[in-house]
Copies of this chain bind each other. A is one copy, B any other.
Amino acid sequence: MLLDHLAIESNGVPIYVQLRAQIAAALGRGALAPGARLPTMREVAVALKIDLNTVQRAYAELERDGLITLTRGRGSFVTHTPPREARAGVRETADRLAAQAAAQARAAGIGLDELTAALARLKAAR
């Protein structure tokens, strides 16, 4: 379920931006098939303990970008013809995050191999 993969961090990044990015990435990954129904705005608001208006803003921008369609009374659905660039930004973002982590590691005297091992441990702990 998509709701389980959503989580808001207090990084300085606005909540609606985080939400928009996470849903966009999930769609680009194919986690939800075209035509599939997204969780209700109210469901997301309750689950993440954020405001309905904040969710609405994220959903509205996803619709503006052509990723989802909103229909009052019915719900929100994945578009059947998603834009190509949906998947493009994911790799860029991942590379940027990896480089950031590498910088932190170097400053702490941690090698890339040790960081990789730590990531593997984290993955195993789930």
Contact = CB atoms under 8 A, between A and B. Distances in A.
Interface of A: 7-9, 11-14, 16-18, 21-29, 34, 65-67, 79, 81-84, 86-87, 90-91, 93-123
A116 B40 CA distance: 32
Given A119-B115, A120-B116, A104 B110 contact: no
Given A100-B28, A119-B102, A82 B108 contact: yes
A118 B91 contact: yes
30 contacts: A7-B107, A9-B107, A12-B17, A21-B107, A21-B109, A22-B96, A22-B107, A22-B109, A23-B109, A25-B97, A25-B100, A26-B109, A28-B102, A29-B111, A66-B104, A81-B107, A81-B109, A82-B109, A84-B111, A91-B114, A93-B109, A94-B105, A94-B117, A97-B115, A97-B118, A98-B121, A98-B122, A100-B101, A102-B122, A112-B119
